[in-house]
Amino acid sequence: MNLHRLLIYGAAFTIMGLSNAVIPILPELADLSNNSSGGFSLSLLFSAYFLGALGTMLPFGILADRFGNFKFIALGIVLTVISGLIILFSENLWILLIARLIEGSACGAFLPAAFAILSKLNNPGRYLGELTFLFNAGLATGAFLSGLLADTYLKGAILVFTVLTFFLTTYMFSRSRKLANLERSERTGALKSSDLFRKPYREIKKLLDRRNFELWLSSFLLNGAIGVLLAYYPDYSLGTITKAQLGISISSLYVCAMITSLLGGRFKVKEKNLIKIGLGFSAFGALSAIKYPMLGFSSIGGGSGVATVGFALAVARMNADRGLAMGLFNTTIYAGLSLSPIIAGFFVDFVSFEKLFIANGCILAVGIILKN
C-alpha cells in the first residue's frame, strides 16, 4: 500500500474513533461538569464537535488546494491528539466544549484533503469506498469500546484512541521526508496566491446552483437524521438498555455502513441510484430505532454507507477543484450532524423522544422525494 494511502486510512480510523468514543458517555460527561441544564449541555457536547468541523471544512478544503493536502492531513492528526488529551484530563464543561471544537476542526482539516487525494486516483470508487469503510470502522470501534469500558473507566476508549493517534503522529513525522516529496508532486497545479479567494468564490457559486441543490440538501437531511438519533438515543435509552448494549447498537450503524460502503464502491451503479437506495434504508432505520435499536441503527447505517459513496462519486465528477468540492460536500455532512441536534434540543423539554424520532424519519424521507 502506498504511504499516502496508509497514512490516510490510519488517520481516518483513529480520528473517527476518538470522536465517537464520547457518544455513549455523553450524559456522564455532562454530569461530571456539575451543570444543571442537563439536556441542553448534552446537546452542546454532542454538537460542538460537528460545529468545529462545520466551521473549518470549507476553508480548510480551499487552503488544501493552495498549500497541499498532506499538510492538512498532518494538521488533523495533531489536533486530534491535543483534543484527546484535553478530554482525558478535564471535567469542566467549557473546556470539554473547546476540546470537542478542536476535535471537529481536526476532522475539518483531514476529510476534504483525504477525499481530494483519493478522488484523483484511478478507480476512485474503490478508494472512496475503502475510506468510508475505515471512517465507519473507527466510529464503530469508538462507540463499542466506549460502551464496553465505561463501567471500568469512563474515559477508557478516549485513552485508547488518544494513544493510537499519538503513535500515528510519531509514524508520520518519521516519514516526513517521503511525505514532503509526495506533497510536491501532489501540488502540481495548485492555486496561485492571487486566486486563493477569488477562484474559490467563483467555484462555490457554480457548485451551489440549482442543478446541485438537491444533492447538498439530501446530504444535509441524511446526516441530520443520524445526528438527532445519536445525540438523543443515549438519554432516551437510559434505564432500558445497558451501556454495553447501547454501544453495540450504535456501533452496528457503523459496521453496516462499512459493509455497504465497500459494496457501493465496487458495483457499477449510477450515483443517483446509490443515493436513493441509501436514503430509503436510512428512513426506515430512523423510524424502526424507536422500538428496535439494533435494527434501526443497522438500517440507517447501511443506508448511509451506500448514500455516502454515491454522494462522493457525484461530487468527484463535478467540474471544480477537488479540495473545494469535497470541502463543501463534507460541510453539508457536518451541517446536518451539528445543526439538527441543536434545533431538536429546543423541543426535547416538551416533545417526547418518540415523537422527535418519528419527525426525524419523516423529514429524512423528503430526501428520497428530492431524488425522484
Residue 238 located in a structural domain: yes
pTM comes to 0.76
Sole residue written with cell 514532503? 180
Task: Answer for the pair 146, 20: CB distance below 8 angstroms, yes or no.
Answer: yes
If one counts the domains in the chain, the total is 2
Task: Answer for the pair 298, 253: CB distance below 8 angstroms, yes or no.
Answer: yes
Cα 226 from Cα 231, distance rounded (Å): 9
Task: Answer for the pair 100, 33: CB distance below 8 angstroms, yes or no.
Answer: no
With CA atoms as reference, report the closest residue to 20 among 130, 118, 218, 160.
160
279 and 159 within one domain: no
Phi, psi angles (nearest 5°) of residue 19:
-65, -35
Q: Average pLDDT in the 103-128 region?
A: 85
Per-residue model confidence (pLDDT) at position 34 = 60
Residue 201 located in a structural domain: no
Report percent pLDDT > 90 for the chain. 19
Cα 305 from Cα 371, distance rounded (Å): 17
Cα 351 from Cα 357, distance rounded (Å): 10
Per-residue model confidence (pLDDT) at position 176 = 67
Residue 362 located in a structural domain: yes
When comparing pLDDT for 38 and 41, which is higher?
41
Among 186, 217, 233, residue at a domain's last position: 186
Residue 248 located in a structural domain: yes
Cα 283 from Cα 261, distance rounded (Å): 17
Count of Cβ atoms closer than 10 Å to residue 22 Cβ: 25
Domain encompassing residue 171: 1-186
278 and 219 within one domain: yes
Per-residue model confidence (pLDDT) at position 184 = 59
pLDDT digits (tens, 9 = 90+) for 275-310: 888 998 999 999 998 888 899 999 999 999 899 888
153 and 220 within one domain: no
182 and 213 within one domain: no
Residue 194 located in a structural domain: no
Task: Quote the distance between the C-alpha of residue 308 and its chain's center.
Answer: 11
pLDDT digits (tens, 9 = 90+) for 320-355: 777 778 888 888 888 888 788 888 888 877 888 888
328 and 281 within one domain: yes
24 and 74 within one domain: yes
Task: Answer for the pair 258, 137: CB distance below 8 angstroms, yes or no.
Answer: yes
Per-residue model confidence (pLDDT) at position 99 = 94
pLDDT digits (tens, 9 = 90+) for 175-197: 766 666 655 555 544 445 545 55
Question: Is the model's pLDDT at 33 over the cut of 70?
Answer: no
18 and 143 within one domain: yes
3-state SS assignment for residue 290 = coil
124 and 2 within one domain: yes
With CA atoms as reference, report the closest residue to 59 among 97, 116, 112, 20.
112
235 and 174 within one domain: no
Residue 351 located in a structural domain: yes
Task: Answer for the pair 134, 164: CB distance below 8 angstroms, yes or no.
Answer: no
Count of Cβ atoms closer than 10 Å to residue 127 Cβ: 21
126 and 5 within one domain: yes
Cα 193 from Cα 30, distance rounded (Å): 44
Give me 128's grid cell: 472512496
Sole residue written with cell 430526501? 367
Residue 197 located in a structural domain: no
Residue 307 located in a structural domain: yes
Task: Tell me the H-state helices in the chain.
Answer: 3-20, 26-32, 38-67, 69-89, 93-119, 124-149, 156-174, 176-186, 198-207, 210-236, 243-266, 271-288, 293-316, 322-345, 353-370
CATH number at residue 307: 1.20.1250.20
Q: For the stretch 161-181, what's the b/e string if a residue is b when 16 or more beta carbons lie within 10 angstroms of its beta carbon?
A: bbebbbebbeebeeeeeebee
With CA atoms as reference, report the closest residue to 123 among 328, 313, 303, 323.
313
218 and 179 within one domain: no
Question: Is the model's pLDDT at 163 over the cut of 90?
Answer: yes
Cα 220 from Cα 31, distance rounded (Å): 30
Sole residue written with cell 428512513? 283
Task: Tell me the H-state helices in 150-238.
Answer: 156-174, 176-186, 198-207, 210-236
Per-residue model confidence (pLDDT) at position 241 = 77
233 and 148 within one domain: no
Cα 85 from Cα 158, distance rounded (Å): 9
Per-residue model confidence (pLDDT) at position 188 = 46
